[in-house]
Amino acid sequence: MAKILDVYLHRELVGHLIQNDGGQMVFDYAENWLHRPDATPLSYSLPLRHKRFTRKECRGYFAGVLPEESKREIIARNLGISERNDYAMLERIGGECAGAVTFVLTGEALPTVDDHYRALSAPELAGILRELPRRPLLAGETGIRLSLAGAQDKIAVRVEGDAISLPLGGAPSTHILKPAVERFAGVVFNEAYCMRLAAAVGLPVAKTEIRRAEDVEYLLVERYDRTHRQGPEGTTLERLHQEDFCQALGIVSENKYQKEGGPSLKQCFALLREVSSAPVLDLARLLDAVIFNFLIGNNDAHGKNFSLLYRGEVTESSGAGTANLETRLAPLYDLVSTRYYPELTRDLAMKIGGEYSSDKVSKANFEQLAEDAGLAKPLVRRRVPELANSILSNLRSTEIEHTVTEALAEQIHTRCNVFLR
């Protein structure tokens, strides 16, 4: 028997995700949504249309909402569902997701007010962070319906000053907590340093802060897809819609690396040129992100590490926030120098000018990237040394006191100087 999830964008019913009698996941836009003059698609890969989307057409977006790799496997085991059943997993954990999408069993009402939270003491938070490797996203705990893409341990929370709370049901979060990873020493400090260094050289990035709960260090990342909006009844926390580049291109998460069929930089630049409301600015920002990732040694910058952010004006006639829609490259996130860990690959997630090996990328490869991406070669030729010099100027003023960041700064210093020579 077919099963149906109602799919909401903000608080508007936009479609139905169906597991048909053959167990296949398909998607239909709601007729009422299609007839609205301000209707927008859920994804660039799911344009508004009356015809049903097949599993192959819609899985890139919907499965892209879910966690990946071992985290997905553990969640499936904890919930007693098949690891490969995207529909069942969205049914169980699709309450508070990236962007402004929410999944509710058909026939059940969307909660009228998303303001249910459970305050956490420091010991409770530390306990949750220690538990995450065995219970990713706290899946299965009563009242918790959180989904975040990625293969790293993380949890979505609401932060008000020093107070941290867990969102219950479909309540929105404000931050993502990423605890230390035993396998990669100091990764919290590594990411915090790279994020702050990016901000120092002028790249738009998500705001981060290092905190500790008892003996557990974690990175607190402010969500760029959440905003506080002032209304007649006071300040409310609202979702902004977003999707990563794999979702926008209809590519499933397990194929996120270019070698496995994932996006190339050429496709990423083409996507931005097609959808951005300010393509000149966003193409320059994406170029800066590619150069910065290369110079700090972030070889894991794949298609799910770049996103589109959709900002709309919420009006009385447009509860879904689709009036005056603006599409922009989202602030950068997940900036980590993977090169710092010698056991990780030196190959890039996306080729630069036809070259995968980060050790072999040269000026000629960046010129080829310019040609592939439709950018002016003099711009790219000039921008690489500009960013390298800017990084060198800001390495020591970006202060995070830790042995990892001291060694990392030295490694980035050497890498920039070698490439400049």
**HEC assignment per residue over the chain:** CCEEEEEEECCEEEEEEEECCCCCEEEEECHHHHCCCCCCCCECCECCCCCCECHHHHHHHHHHHCECHHHHHHHHHHHCCCCCCHHHHHHHHCCECCCCEEEEECCCCCCCCCCCEEEECHHHHHHHHHHCCCCHHHCCCCCCCECCCECCCCEEEEEECCEEEEECCCCCCCEEEEECECCECCHHHHHHHHHHHHHHCCCCECCEEEEEECCEEEEEEECCCEEEEEECCEEEEEECEEEEHHHHCCCCHHHCCHHHCCCCHHHHHHHHHHHCCCHHHHHHHHHHHHHHHHHHCCCCCCHHHCEEEEEEEEECCEEEEEEEEEEEECCECCCCCHHHCCCCCCEEEEEECCEEECCCCCHHHHHHHHHHHCCCHHHHHHHHHHHHHHHHHHCCCCCCCCHHHHHHHHHHHHHHHHHHC
Q: Which residues are catalytic?
A: 300
